[in-house]
């Protein structure tokens, strides 16, 4: 028969082991949840991201793919001024959607400005943040659309706004 002191010590030891197991289980869950959270909200420390360098990388790649001498303005017709980057049936817009087939398979990539933004974000944050990168590149496109609408409204007419240089400066 166990005496009271021995039984108390056994219960205390069992509680310690139980709490250690629970702590380990919670640590595993926290690790999994942190990994999932990084898909949507990566670590945006200043050491990891230099916004100016990122902007210049995107601009340089866009200029290399589409030289200024060969591209058209984001808003080509006055009817588009209130809603830039309209959805194109053929998805051939260098600003918002330029789907290109790669290889023999059905793999496509987006070589538009939005696609380049997404690729640079993926290169910076890694594939684990793909959802975040897609979302942020789409939000960048929305910001460009709103800036173009504001630029058109403040340009006092289509004649000034329709110039490629003016619109690219806004974007």
pLDDT tens track for 87-116 = 554 556 788 776 655 556 555 678 888 889
User: Same domain for 128 and 59?
Assistant: yes
Domain assignment of residue 8, given as a range: 1-38
Q: Is residue 44 in some structural domain?
A: no
Residue 144 in domain: yes
Bridge partners of residue 101, in order along the sequence: 108
89 and 138 assigned to the same domain? yes
Q: Are residues 21 and 87 in the same domain?
A: no
Predicted local confidence at residue 44, as pLDDT: 64
Task: Please report whether residue 46 resides in a domain.
Answer: no
At residue 75, does pLDDT exceed 80?
Answer: yes
pLDDT value at residue 57? 92
Residues 30, 94 within the same domain: no
Together in a domain, 59 and 17: no
Per-chain mean pLDDT for the chain: 80
Using the predicted structure, report yes or no on whether residue 28 has a pLDDT greater than 70: yes
Per-residue confidence (pLDDT) for residue 17, from 0 to 100: 81
Same domain, 31 and 65: no
Residue 150 lies in a domain: yes
Q: The pTM is what?
A: 0.68
- Let me know if residue 43 belongs to a domain: no
Number of domains in the chain: 2
Q: Are both 29 and 55 inside the same structural domain?
A: no
12 and 60: one domain? no
Residue with tokens 């640590």: 27
């Amino acid at each position: 028969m166990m005496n009271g002191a021995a039984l108390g010590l056994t219960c205390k030891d069992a509680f310690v082991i139980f709490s250690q197991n629970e702590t380990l289980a919670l640590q595993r869950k926290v690790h999994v949840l942190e990994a999932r959270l990084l898909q949507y909200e990566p670590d945006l420390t200043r050491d990891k991201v230099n916004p100016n360098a990122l902007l210049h990388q995107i601009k340089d790649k866009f200029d290399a793919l589409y030289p200024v001498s060969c591209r058209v303005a984001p808003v080509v017709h006055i009817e588009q001024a209130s809603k830039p980057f309209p959805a194109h049936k053929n998805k051939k817009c260098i600003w918002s959607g330029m789907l290109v087939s790669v290889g023999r398979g059905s793999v496509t990539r987006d070589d538009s400005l939005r696609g380049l933004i997404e690729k640079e974000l993926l290169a910076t944050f890694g594939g684990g943040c793909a959802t975040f990168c897609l979302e942020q590149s789409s939000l960048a496109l929305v910001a460009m659309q709103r800036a173009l609408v504001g630029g058109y409204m403040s340009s006092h007419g289509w004649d000034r706004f329709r110039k490629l240089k003016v619109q690219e400066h806004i974007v």
